Each structure stands twice: as structure tokens, then as C-alpha cells.
């Protein structure tokens, strides 16, 4: 959820600040209580600074932090979306640092290509993504069960899958056929750890895909596009 734009209703009118990055950070945090500035850096546009807030949002400020802009910066020469490129970079995840022992692992074909996905068993788009994933071959899919608060039964279903003798099959039966696993749901499980992991990685919704090159893909991705992205990530 974006946290800064609603605050733009307040005006930035104070004066007397020095033109440096430390003052931009100080002024914005002082004038917008609760906002954390992660970094301030120059942009290709003279006098305009990139300000990263909340770990995953970019705004732009003048050299005193007296005025801010929420929007995208486009380089007109080649129509590059500089904001989107920076957001993609900020959201990258080092795949090898993921605790894959907390994931349900599905292997298809030779399993050489790999991806991770944060998925909620009661999320409609997650179920549609699983239909797309079923079309892929030669891929290993690491599923981090990530039940969202808006789905009160999702955590129980996640635990039932984890406690199943064949977790991969139980997950596929649940997501593709709507078959809820039977049996116990009180075995030791990583659901709480997955929620903590997602919070650290700023996973704000499901599904959220992570490729081995660190690229993050939020939302539903068609199988054809995902197939090409997997090949690209493996290069």
C-alpha cells in the first residue's frame, strides 16, 4: 500500500535549509511524521533528488526538501521509465538467501529453472497463477505459503498442506482442484516464519514471484511470459 501520496495534501513551505542530501532527509521526515527516508540521491534531472521512502516507494524532491513530487520519471530520448527501473532494482531479492526449507517444493521435468512464489491458498489470483505454472516444464517451484489476514481460513489450509505426507501434491490438489487436505494441522510448520520473511522482503500482496536473477514479479504472470523470463533469469 502506498503510504506517501495521501500526505501530499500538506504543503511544504518551510525555508532556510541547506542544499544537501542530509537536509532533504531531515526535512521530509520532520514534516511527515511516520515517514522513514531510506536514501536520497541525485537524478539525471538537475536540481531534482530521488527519495526512497518505506523501503519500496520513490518520490522526488527539490534540493531543499521544500517541494516533493509523486510520479514517474521518464527519460524522453529512449522512453526509459527511470522510476520503474529503480523500483525493480530496489525490490530485487538474492535468491540464494531464501530459506527454501520453509517452502513447498514442486519439481517438473529436469527442474533446472527455478522460481519462488509467495502464495495464499485463498487468493483467487494465486489459484490462477498455479494454473499458469502447471503449463511450465523443466522448472522447480518453491512455494512459500503466505496466508493474508483478509482470508481467515488460509492459515489453516496452509498448515494442512504442510502437515501432509506429500506437500507438493497437496498444494496442487488445493490450488488446482479445490481439494482441502485432510488430517492434522498442528505439526511444526513455517507459516509464521514465512509471514516474517515476507514482511522483511516487503511482500505486500500475493502472488509474488521471485526469479533466480533477483527480479520480483508481482501479481499474475501468463505462462508464456514466465517461460521466457525463466530462460532469461537462467542466463
Contacts of 136 (CB under 8 A, 6+ apart): 108, 223, 226, 227, 230
Q: Which architecture does CATH list for 5-90?
A: Roll (3.10)
pLDDT on residue 20: 75
- Strand-pairing partners, residue 40, are 51
Q: How far apart are CA 55 and CA 38, in angstroms?
A: 6
What DSSP element (H or E) covers 31?
helix 21-31
Residue among 61, 56, 1 nearest 29 (CA):
61
Task: Give the separation between CA 110 and CA 221, rounded to whole angstroms.
Answer: 22
The pLDDT assigned to 51 comes to 94
- Stretches where the chain sits below pLDDT 50 are 1, 3, 5-19
Angle, in degrees to the nearest 10, between helices 167-177 and 154-162: 140
Is cis: bond before 207, omega within 30 of 0?
yes
Dig out the grid coordinates for 128 from the structure.
490462477
> Which pLDDT belongs to residue 212?
96
Evaluate whether 172 touches 119 at the Cβ level (below 8 Å).
Answer: no
Residue 216 near residue 127 (C-beta atoms within 8 A): no
Rg (CA), the chain: 21
Q: State the pLDDT at residue 87.
A: 84
Predicted pLDDT of residue 235: 83
CATH fourth-level superfamily of 95-233: Glutaredoxin (3.40.30.10)
pLDDT at position 86, please?
A: 87
- What is the b/e burial string over 108-121, where b = at least 16 CB atoms within 10 angstroms of the residue's CB? beeeebbbbbbbbb
| pLDDT given at position 11 | 35
Report the pLDDT value the prediction gives residue 18, as an integer from 0 to 100. 41
CA separation, residue 65 to residues 74, 86, 191, 202 (Å): 21, 20, 41, 26
Q: What is the pTM of this model?
A: 0.76
User: What is the predicted pLDDT for the residue at 14?
Assistant: 37
pLDDT for res 2: 52
The span from the CA of 234 to the CA of 211, in Å, is 9
Domain ranges in the chain are 5-90, 95-233
pLDDT of residue 8: 40
Amino acid at each position: 500500500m502506498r503510504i506517501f501520496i495521501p500526505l501530499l495534501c500538506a504543503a511544504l513551505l518551510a525555508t532556510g535549509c541547506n542544499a544537501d542530501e542530509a537536509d532533504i532527509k531531515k526535512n521530509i521526515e520532520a514534516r511527515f511524521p511516520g515517514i522513514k527516508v531510506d536514501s536520497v540521491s541525485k537524478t539525471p534531472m538537475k536540481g531534482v533528488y530521488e527519495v526512497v521512502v518505506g523501503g519500496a516507494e520513490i518520490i522526488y524532491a527539490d534540493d531543499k526538501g521544500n517541494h516533493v513530487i509523486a510520479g514517474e520519471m521518464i527519460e524522453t530520448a529512449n522512453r526509459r521509465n527511470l522510476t520503474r527501473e529503480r523500483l525493480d532494482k530496489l525490490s530485487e531479492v538474492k535468491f540464494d538467501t531464501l530459506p527454501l526449507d520453509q517452502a513447498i517444493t514442486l519439481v517438473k521435468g529436469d527442474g533446472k529453472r527455478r522460481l519462488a512464489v509467495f502464495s495464499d491458498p485463498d487468493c483467487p489470483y494465486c489459484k490462477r497463477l498455479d494454473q499458469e505454472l502447471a503449463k511450465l516444464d523443466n522448472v522447480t517451484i518453491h512455494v512459500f505459503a503466505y496466508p493474508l489476514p483478509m482470508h481467515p481460513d488460509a492459515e489453516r489450509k496452509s498448515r494442512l498442506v504442510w502437515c501432509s505426507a506429500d506437500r507438493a501434491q497437496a498444494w496442487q490438489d488445493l490450488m488446482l482442484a479445490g481439494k482441502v487436505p485432510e488430517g492434522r494441522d498442528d505439526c511444526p510448520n513455517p507459516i509464521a516464519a514465512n509471514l516474517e520473511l515476507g514482511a522483511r522482503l516487503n511482500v505486500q500482496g500475493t502472488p509474488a514471484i521471485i526469479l533466480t536473477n533477483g527480479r520480483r514479479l508481482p501479481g499474475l504472470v501468463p505462462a508464456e511470459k514466465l517461460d521466457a523470463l525463466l530462460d532469461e533469469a537462467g542466463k
